[in-house]
Amino acid sequence: MPKVFLQQEDIKVFLQQEQAGTGGFLETKVKEPNIQQVMSKICANWQWEHNATMTERGRIILNWHPRRYNFSPILKTDQLLHGELNKNKFVDIYKQQTIARNDLLKAQAQLQQDPTNQELIFEEVSCRDLYISINHSAMLLIKQQCKAEWISCGDECIRVFMAKIKQRRACTSIYYIKDQHEKRVEGFEAVSKFMTNYYKKLLGENDHHRTHIDIQVINMGECLNLEQQMQLCKPFTDADIKKVLFSIPTYKSPGPYGYNSGFYKACWEDIGPLVCSVIKEIFSGGTFLIFMDKQS
């Protein structure tokens, strides 16, 4: 049964009694620089060794009496221990992947020749599960290697990439331009000012008063007769409103807010008369609000 020692002196007394040939205990208080001095004091003529790195809960120390046992301990770091633990899984993972894939193809070919054979079905399932597991491990190894390569090498072409971006921006910029007198205007500010003035002249700087439409000019061309004019002025019917609303795609909305047209189509029997009355009221004298976007 394991013993619990709270004091270093208790360990020393136990070892001096020579009731055991080997032993091990977990040490949680001594710091790394002082471990050699403390253990030499406690163990006396006993040999001892500890793990190379300290775990989260302490340091494992092994000791043995030299008159009963004579061997040389081999220290191994966590990296070596993990290497041995993962040796069978990752050391030749690509070779294992090839073998597992070939075994799976072979099992599938045999099963295709005899689809009802339960033994071949079980073998194909086992080979497929093994290949999936090995392929997953291979992908993890590839990701880890790529990550390590990226950390060590980095983006080697970053300077070339940024230089190409700068070159492309320079090519799309207008540094100089010629005016109407074939005079060269250089500089971004000068070019910007010249182009602003140019378009101001095209749009005009003074307000021009509009003149009334000459009826005689209109009468010279084709005009609508009275029946056609009355047809344009007559109010919209419920059938016209329904036709226009149903022509809108289902996933689109009649306005910037609210339900899409699919909602109106599905519930037209209940809300159709209300929608038609609202639209008629707008055209008969109501006010239709227009959304004005705020420009920042």
Q: Where are the domains of the chain?
A: 8-85, 89-152, 160-202, 234-284
Among residues 59, 1, 56, the alpha carbon closest in space to that of 25 is found at 59
Give domain 89-152's CATH number out of 1.10.1660, 1.20.58, 2.40.50, 2.60.40.
1.20.58
The number of C-alpha atoms within 13 Å of 17 and in the hemisphere containing its C-beta is 9
Token pair 């093994």 in the structure block, residue: 130
Q: What pTM does this model have?
A: 0.29
Per-residue pLDDT tens digits of the chain, which is 296 residues long: 455 555 666 666 666 666 666 666 666 666 666 666 777 677 666 666 666 555 555 667 676 666 665 655 555 555 555 555 455 556 688 888 899 999 999 999 998 888 888 999 999 999 999 999 999 988 888 888 877 766 666 666 677 777 888 888 877 788 888 888 888 888 888 888 888 888 888 877 666 666 777 888 888 888 888 898 888 888 889 999 999 989 988 888 766 667 888 888 999 999 999 999 988 888 877 665 665 555 54
One-letter-per-residue 3-state SS of 116-138:
CCHHHHHHHHHHHHHHHHHHHHH
